Amino acid sequence: MKILVCISAVPDTTSKINFTADHKSLDTSGVQFVINPNDEFGLTRAVWFKEQQGAEVHIATVGETSVESIMRKALAIGADKAFRIDTHPTDGFLVAQALSEQVKKENYDLVICGRESIDYNGNMVSGLIASHCGYSFINTCTGLTIEGDKATATREIDGGSETLETSLPLVVGAQKGLVEESDLKIPNMRGIMSARTKPLEVITPSNIEALTEDLSFEKPASKSEVTLIDEANIDQLIELLHKEAKVL
Amino acid sequence: MSVLVYLESENKAYKKSAYELASYAVALAGQLSTEAIGLVINNDTPENIGGLNQIISISNESLNTFTAERYASLLSAAFEKSGSQYLVISSSADSKYIGGMIAAQSGSSFIPNVIALPENIEGKTAFKRTVFTNKGFAYTSSRSELCIIGLSKNSFGVHHSNAVPKVEAMTLELTDDRVTVTNKATVNGKATIADADIVVSAGRGLKGPENWHLVEDLAEVLGAATACSKPVSDLGWRPHSEHVGQTGKPVATNLYIAIGISGAIQHLAGINASKVKVVINNDPEAPFFKAADYGIVGDAFTVVPQLIEKLKVFKAQNA
């Protein structure tokens, strides 16, 4: 089984987000980039398939040279080979086209993307790849087993979960639950050393086009001060929620 | 070039989100000087909703179970057949599942997490959407003529109207789906985070899963959904489906009550789109107090039981 895990580099979840003075892009100064958490759950499951079922695991990232540090981390976690598609990832459509080219070239049995990247929250790249490549697709995937070419998955739905069956080739949108937080791997020294010599191929994409354009960015307005209520005066809270906030 | 809006149904009636979605589509069409058209699947009584004058109704028993591939191709076909420029979809798990698929099939762009009607920026139609899990906003325009808009929950509100829509049946060929649903497990009769007006959430401050009756009792009085912080789901005290935050679920509710949650930046990002936030925490230095509208500095184990009792009285008086 040949697996591709699509990985994006996103600001660490603890990052404060600021935009450049012209409001045109993210201000990356002081921002630490990490593997998108949803992608990391997917990567960890892919490495499990490698260890348990002998799968071959590739990763692909769309981005400029700066993303190579997180790609090396993914290799250290256990991926076998990496592809960097050399362009600035301006929107989900461009990214999906670039990744679809890679999927078609290598004929993967399974493609794992994060449900969404936690930067632009598009939640579309996995569905676009599945459509472009003619693969089955399961989103918000919280469990995945594969026997031969049969896949059984669970998916989170509003207020519950679903069990689904399909066959490979398949694209899944991964999220927490696919593996547990405690199963995430911190690369060990051996992994880090071997990652240095694993192949990282740079690809120049062709025929890619963004379908959307971010014209400007802004931060949320600063919040007004909290109204503190004495713990002996809970009636006041109910009254404020009823009469002032009008939510009761 | 009209605005088509997919109004989700459940048990042959509109889901709650449909009312806001229809209201938004009617306002968007008004701004563009065109018509809004509703699209419903297996809905018996497409009643007056958000001011829509026109509804396309698709009925087929085999669509009772949502499967993504079939629904996506059906919506793409309806989008094309209606000749609309925009397709508006909700932020439900199902609509998020199929948004990218419809975009690929219909050759349209997709702008998700939209929270307002478009503005003109540099001569372009720009939709304001949340990015970085509510830590920022982007104004995004489409480069393709066709565009799917994913509307964030609770961002626009419901406009009531007496307009009675003209309902027209549409028959479209159904495609097979390579993914089959073999089991569906939902908790009946309990408000879900996706749909609830109020969410009651708790963190490690509650000390253990055995104390969650406080959260559940408070939620019951308020008709609220229950949620939790990331550490609580990582510890296995509560299921992952209740985890709210940047890597969990976003919450955009009218009222969010946080009990014993310190307010890590990832958690605050996830709940930032909620209208009114209340925090109960015994640590006055907890960062949540800076993000909340109302706060009580106090012990959850004494404050919450009192709040439950007082809310019962309030509810009885205001029923």
Tell me the per-residue pLDDT of B250-306, one tens digit each, with 9 for 90 and over. Answer: 999 999 999 999 999 999 999 999 999 999 999 999 999 999 999 999 999 999 999
Q: What is the pLDDT of residue B47?
A: 82
- The whole-number average pLDDT for the span B19-27 is 98
In angstroms, the separation between the Cα of residue B18 and the nearest Cα of chain A is: 15
Q: How crowded is residue A156: how many other Cβ atoms within 10 Å of its Cβ?
A: 21
Q: What is the pLDDT of residue B96?
A: 96
Q: What is the pLDDT of residue A87?
A: 98
- The whole-number average pLDDT for the span A228-245 is 96
Q: What is the pLDDT of residue B1?
A: 87
- Whether the per-residue pLDDT at B46 is higher than 90: the answer is no
- The whole-number average pLDDT for the span B61-79 is 96
Q: Which residues of A touch B302 (CB under 8 A)?
A: 231
User: What is the DSSP code (8-state) at residue A201?
Assistant: E
Q: Are residues B101 and A138, on separate chains, in Cβ contact within 8 Å?
A: no
In angstroms, the separation between the Cα of residue B45 and the nearest Cα of chain A is: 23
- Whether the per-residue pLDDT at A3 is higher than 90: the answer is yes
- The whole-number average pLDDT for the span A196-201 is 98
| ipTM, 2 dp | 0.96
Cβ of A119 under 8 Å from any chain B Cβ?
A: yes
Q: Are residues B103 and A158, on separate chains, in Cβ contact within 8 Å?
A: no
- Whether the per-residue pLDDT at B45 is higher than 80: the answer is no
In angstroms, the separation between the Cα of residue A197 and the nearest Cα of chain B is: 32
- The whole-number average pLDDT for the span A142-164 is 96
The answer to whether the beta carbons of residues B248 and B229 sit under 8 Å apart is no
Q: What is the pLDDT of residue B195?
A: 87
Q: What is the pLDDT of residues B132-168, one digit of tens each?
A: 999 999 999 999 999 999 999 999 999 988 889 999 9
The answer to whether the beta carbons of residues B253 and B196 sit under 8 Å apart is yes
Q: What is the pLDDT of residue B187?
A: 79
Q: What is the pLDDT of residues B171-215, one digit of tens each?
A: 999 999 999 999 999 877 788 998 899 999 999 999 999 999 999
Q: In what order do the strands lie in the sheet with B255-259?
A: A227-229, B294-297, B276-281, B255-259, B198-202, B225-228
- C-alpha B186/C-alpha B194 separation (Å) is 13
B178 exposure class (CB count in 10 Å sphere: 0-12, 13-18, 19+): middle
Q: Are residues B138 and A216, on separate chains, in Cβ contact within 8 Å?
A: yes
Q: What is the pLDDT of residue A36?
A: 98
Across all residues in chain B, what is the average pLDDT?
95
Q: Which amino acid is at A209?
A: E
Residues 6+ apart with CB under 8 A from B310: A234, A235, A238
Q: Are residues A211 and B143, on separate chains, in Cβ contact within 8 Å?
A: yes
- Whether the per-residue pLDDT at B37 is higher than 90: the answer is yes
In angstroms, the separation between the Cα of residue B233 and the nearest Cα of chain A is: 9
- Whether the per-residue pLDDT at A124 is higher than 80: the answer is yes
Instruction: Determine the residue among A16, A33, A91, A123 to mutate to test chain B binding: the one whose Cβ has the most chain B Cβ atoms within 10 Å.
Output: A123
The answer to whether the beta carbons of residues B262 and B297 sit under 8 Å apart is no
Q: What is the pLDDT of residues A48-105, one digit of tens each?
A: 999 999 999 999 999 999 999 999 999 999 999 999 999 999 999 999 999 999 999 9
Instruction: Determine the residue among B92, B98, B102, B140 to mutate to test chain A binding: the one whose Cβ has the most chain A Cβ atoms within 10 Å.
Output: B140
Q: Which residues of B touch A15 (CB under 8 A)?
A: 265
pLDDT band at B61 (very low <50, low <70, confident <90, very high): very high
Instruction: Determine the residue among B11, B76, B132, B229 to mutate to test chain A binding: the one whose Cβ has the most chain A Cβ atoms within 10 Å.
Output: B132
Question: Model-level pTM?
Answer: 0.96
Interface of A with B in 125-164 (CB under 8 A): 125-128, 130-132, 136-140, 142, 156-164
Residues 6+ apart with CB under 8 A from B270: B133, B134, B244, B245, B246, B248, B249, B250, B251
Q: Are residues B103 and A93, on separate chains, in Cβ contact within 8 Å?
A: yes
Q: Which residues of A touch B294 (CB under 8 A)?
A: 226-229, 237, 240-241, 245
